[in-house]
Structure 1
């Protein structure tokens, strides 16, 4: 029998005990979704408190389909919604192109009609919203607990859960995973400097204040492209920020020192491009010290995210690494959570093993295509022919300005049970229509780029709306 707690309709308890390892966005959402589907849930986090690391991210419609099912969280979500424009600029400050996110321009029925999708969210605020919801539902979160995983063995050794979810980030390893697919983490060759700071940090009357005032009429997600770099400015009524990506950012430390000081980045920006808008440089200088110098690490896609006995499953960055240019990292982590909880709900306590494998089957190709999108988007931004785009604005939808409705207008509460139980052919419906899947790795992508070959990803299947 269903119950109502804090306005959330919870299905009848199914007897499945879920241990979530990691209190990041994906892990917290997994806890909420599994609880809503009737599981008993415990979250274990090695840090002492909720992490404040991270600035802004995007969670699209496909990662927002169940917000409506948590009324209090739905209300919290809408206390701060940034309906951003997406703007493309030259470093010198000339506007190339401006649009709304694709889902704002979509004329069809969206998958999250009850949510006013905020193009930007502060990562820390979103995670706090999830923690507050978990506390209202009395889901235990054990902070500062280092974890160990016990499983049932042939000799009858006891374990504490029916299912363990490893959601503790890209560099995490979860004891007990025996399938060998925790592929080694690699250096992608790129790094990103990023930070968020309050609007009050920019002095009135400064050059940077001219950029900040652009957010008075509408929040802005402004991307500057040129010479193998891209710089994003986050301009909202309350918070500001920037993210700067370049292949040689790591070597900049040797030349100019600690990149946590935003003024240090000015040297690198000016070396990368000599014609920056002075207001942009002033904006970077205005940021408080504490820039996150984040090496972009990579883990090649592994097709199997579950242990062989199906009692352990990886989720979020622990299962699939993303570059920020994919525009999908947090979204896919939340899709993971919704998908797994739905599969557990269908299978019940006796179907946990099958449920994890159904979930894995449903998710892999979709996620792997979107991982590759991060490479392709970055390539398009870093090698854009600005003169050609200025002459023909139809060529301006490059990078994350084109995602395709297949990626964001998807409801992850789907299933492929017949494929595993009856051996029926399985047809992916959560990838670009007509897409022919092609495996790839960091090595193969780097070779393609070195050879100067163009990717055919966005012409493989239908990427329109």
Structure 2
């Protein structure tokens, strides 16, 4: 049985994977590219009922969810203020989904992993990995190396481990959207605390949630057909983005412009292009495997990126615990996970396309979104996604 693992990447998937492996009797060391204290990028995210259940399987849910707030459903509106419908984003039989700052979730998972004895090594950007047959050695940008029985890629949509597993693996695709967000105080949206609203604007997409203390957490997706160069949009100053967004939402009904005006410059988080990974042919090779966004990156529209990564962590550890070899464990992991995640990724891609729709597409949304939501309510897809239970004792 494998006894040691190199976990590459210390975002959400990394510490969750390390804790799950430790529970399965495998010592894991997390190798994180960021320097210690850098935290994690991003604004906030939805931790679905299913993600919370997966954390419960490794007894890590309380610390992780302590700073979030329940958001069991969201209201969809058109650019003229018309309510298009209400969508459930929680299981009816489990804990409600939560909205949480990404940095808070990152910090909570890291603190809990370290408390359990997981070693996290910072400043370790993976350059290459070599599988020698009886072990795998990682080489980092600082010219140091590390060796373990397994190497698990938790290094996100631009994964280096993915290329080590399959040099011909498809690159993530640009979704045609730039995403950014921030936090505003002292603005009355007319919405109740715990509510979540998303607006299909004429020129861009806007979403906001109202925290229990009245702070408004918001994000925007701005269509941009041409893919920007790496780091290009991240370097655009916050005040320039405020002006861009104010112009994009100027003709839309709703509080978007007022929320932007109430957001301090320091509270506007850096922008980033949205990338997707729809289908990866090979998730593993030899002693190396990828999980989370490194294996299947859905668009943020899914609200499932973090939750699916945590599910992966638990299921992979459970497979390694139960299988007689890592090869059989990896094969079982893919068999259990691929159908679920690819179905969710496909559904999220449809929503993502609607965010980038032009004026004609907006008219289509206003006319047909209520019908779509009614059909979705009659289907079992929401419960299939959010009601999924990842357990430790019983194979799911």
Give the alignment's TM-score, normalised by structure 1.
0.70
- Aligned 8 A contact 1:322 1:371 in 2: yes
1:119 to 91, 98, 112: 98
Instruction: State the secondary structure of the residue aligned to 2:97.
Output: coil
Matched, 1:46 2:26: no
Task: Name the residue aligned to 1:196.
Answer: 182
| Deviation of the 1:300 alpha carbon | 4.3
1:170 aligns to what SS in structure 2? coil
Instruction: Tell me the residue number matched to 1:93.
Output: 81
- Contact kept in structure 1, 2:68 and 2:101, CA below 8 Å: no
| Residue-by-residue CA offset, 1:322-343 (whole Å, 9 max, x unaligned) | 2111222111111111110110
- What are the Cα deviations for residues 385-413 of structure 1, in whole angstroms up to 9, with x where unaligned? 465469xx555458999843222222345
Cα distance between partner residues in 1 of 2:107 and 2:76: 31
Seen in structure 2, the aligned counterparts of structure 1 residues 401 and 28 have a Cα distance that, compared at 3 Å, is farther
Q: Which has the higher strand share?
A: 2
In structure 2, the residue corresponding to 1:330 is in which secondary structure?
A: helix
- Residue equivalent to 2:142: none
Query: In the alignment, is residue 405 of structure 1 matched against residue 388 of structure 2?
Result: no
Deviation at 1:296, TM superposition (A): 1.4
> Corresponding residue for 1:224?
199
Q: Which runs of 5+ in 2 are unaligned?
A: 138-144
> Using CA pairs below 8 Å that are at least 6 residues apart, which structure has the higher relative contact order?
2
CA–CA distance in structure 1, aligned partners of residues 136 and 80 of structure 2: 68
What corresponds to 2:16 in structure 1?
A: 29
Q: Deviations over 1:161-184 (max 9, x none)?
A: 111101111112138825335322
Aligned to 1:344: 320
1:295 aligns with 2:278: no
Distance 1:161 1:88, change over 3 A: same
Residue correspondence of structure 1 range 86-235 to structure 2 within 5 A: 86-98=74-86, 100-103=88-91, 106=92, 110=93, 113=94, 116-147=95-126, 149-153=129-133, 160-174=147-161, 177-192=164-179, 194-197=180-183, 201-203=184-186, 209-211=187-189, 214-215=191-192, 218-227=193-202, 229-235=204-210
Change (3 A) 1:89 1:142: same
For 1:176 and 1:322, how far apart are their aligned partners in 2? Answer: 19
Q: Deviations over 1:287-308 (max 9, x none)?
A: 232342211123341121101x
8 A contact 1:326–1:400 mirrored in 2: no
Deviation at 1:34, TM superposition (A): 0.8
Q: How does 1:296-375 map to 2 (within 5 A)?
A: 296-307=274-285, 309=286, 311-347=287-323, 350-375=324-349
Aligned length: 373
Determine helix, strand or coil for the equivalent of 1:302.
Answer: coil
Secondary structure, counterpart of 2:337 in structure 1: helix
Of structures 1 and 2, the larger Rg is shown by 1
Q: Secondary structure at the match of 1:30?
A: helix
For residues 280 and 237 of structure 2, the distance between their equivalents in structure 1, rounded to whole angstroms, comes to 33
Judge which range, 63-72 or 152-161, deviates more: 152-161
Contact 1:20 1:44 in 2 (8 A): yes
Instruction: Pick which of 295-304 and 393-402 moved more.
Output: 393-402
Seen in structure 2, the aligned counterparts of structure 1 residues 19 and 152 have a Cα distance that, compared at 3 Å, is: same
CA contact (8 A) 2:69 2:212 kept: no
- Corresponding residue for 1:443? none
Compute the RMSD of aligned alpha carbons.
3.7
| CA-CA distance at 1:29 after TM superposition | 0.8
| Paired residues for 1:393-432 under 5 Å | 393=370, 395-397=372-374, 403-413=381-391
